[in-house]
A and B are shown apart, each in its own frame.
Chain A
């Protein structure tokens, strides 16, 4: 009985969390691509003006970033200026939550059929590596090790730069604690 009444709240909280994490990730992607050479190196292989989207099916939250040239990413929020080139879609909010609360690695989620790729797979492979790198940046090392296949050895960025992302993350973790049970 109680569970039935609580469930809509939980669904809402989960949705809020996923929306918030997309915001955090979008901003962090933009920030990292400004300063981190390995990230830029990956992104340079994408065409200029390339639009990347992460979305929860069927009409859930979205994250859209654009490659504006020379490896730099620009965060567009949840609206794309034109049709996207590559879309990674979670089949359900529950799966997005698993990945974005770092309970399931991005690569494992792919392997577990939680997500679909619409677009060129080689670009998806690149974006997955960029996302892995992002997770290693914004997460405390201990959590990051759970979220990515291997923790990169060459992570050194000015601490200040990432601290704002970490603040978002703190808010985010509180959601996890509320919703996880």
Chain B
């Protein structure tokens, strides 16, 4: 018998599909919440995405008591404190976060403050600090990528100290994630592409890194299949509601997979690149995915080979000899990147981004070695290894 052991946890109710938003009032009432606050950003509001949420609530006689729409792309402790103050002043009793990773993380952090008390969110950083359930919390994702609606982590920047504070607790998980195709319908092409590649990377790393387990595997493969089938279709026809819903669901499924099995070197490099060169996270994922898979190849040959079935379908899978499937999976991902580049000029190399200097590679490599996700990469990574992956991703 092996030493294999795993844990899998996802208590988030998923409410997905046509007219999903209209379920929010009923779900709130079920938790005895009557005075919800919306936390979102200016982009979401300008795109008119709040309108169907507010309309859905008003029609049921549920008033949205307060709307905070000024969440910055990198949320901070000050923003969290300000929103908590508004929440208390308006006597809100629940939170609806509408947006991408930043709005969702902000919602999680505000929920800690308004549930536990105080103004200093830094007090609650680290694992195992929260011991009680928080206020009713709903998430409406507007990008199909981060998977934050099903992760028990939030990252908030402490501006004064210049550090990122991590918060981890299963109590950060929302009561429900509402996935409605209307929310991603207007995503511009390059964001659709980058966030789609983020979701794909979550699933591929979940399936090939050290903490993979049978349950996370099932979510990961299903997510990969949906992304392979729908991403290019949606790029060609952005108003394709069914395709949009497929991508949004895939993103949530990939989120469930990686929050239970962690990610690896693609994310270590991506986090470092995001911090040093300010490239969007999804783009970083797309840049590094094939090169990291090549680096890990001999440790993950079998699992990566299995993914060919979900990336390319049964015909290609059965026509490819077992010994070539892992390489064929990498080629499939490269092919997808080329197709995205053709459609929206999503860069394929660091050089193509025009925002990274070759002299920055060493700093990126050093920082990547300190990233928590590197612990779960199937191969040990030295500074030299990280640099060689970066050099291959350069041009």
Contact = CB atoms under 8 A, between A and B. Distances in A.
Interface in B110-150: 126-128
Contacts of A118: 126-128
B99 to A, nearest CB: 25
Contacts of A125: 369-372, 374-375
A111 B211 contact: yes
A98 interface: yes
A126 B371 CA distance: 9
Contacts of A128: 375
Interface stretch (B4-12, B54-62, B174-182, B334-342): B4-12
Interface in B349-395: 369-372, 374-376, 378-380
A117 B370 contact: no
B16 interface: no
A45 B370 CA distance: 10
A108 interface: yes
Interface string A110-135: 11111011110110111010001000
Which range contains the number of A residues in contact with the other chain? 20 to 34
Given A45-B370, A122-B371, A125-B369, A117 B380 contact: no
B370 A132 contact: no
A81 to B, nearest CB: 22
A110 B373 CA distance: 11
Contact of B370 (A107, A110, A126): A126
B370 A122 contact: yes
A163 interface: no
A111 B370 contact: no
Contact of A104 (B3, B126, B380): B3
A127 to B, nearest CB: 11
Contact of A107 (B5, B6, B7, B210): B210
Nearest to B9: A113
Contacts of B374: 125
Q: Which of B209, B211, B378, B379 has the most C-beta atoms of chain A within 10 angstroms of its own C-beta?
A: B211
A121 B153 CA distance: 13
Contacts of A107: 210, 375-376
Contact of B5 (A103, A113, A119, A132): A113
8 contacts: A98-B3, A104-B3, A107-B375, A111-B376, A113-B7, A116-B128, A118-B126, A118-B128
Q: Which 10 A-B pairs have the closest CB atoms?
A: A111-B211, A122-B370, A121-B372, A111-B210, A150-B380, A149-B380, A113-B7, A112-B5, A104-B3, A110-B375
Interface of B: 3-7, 126-128, 166, 209-211, 262, 369-372, 374-376, 378-380
Given A107-B210, A110-B211, 6 more contacts: A107-B375, A112-B3, A121-B372, A122-B370, A125-B372, A150-B379
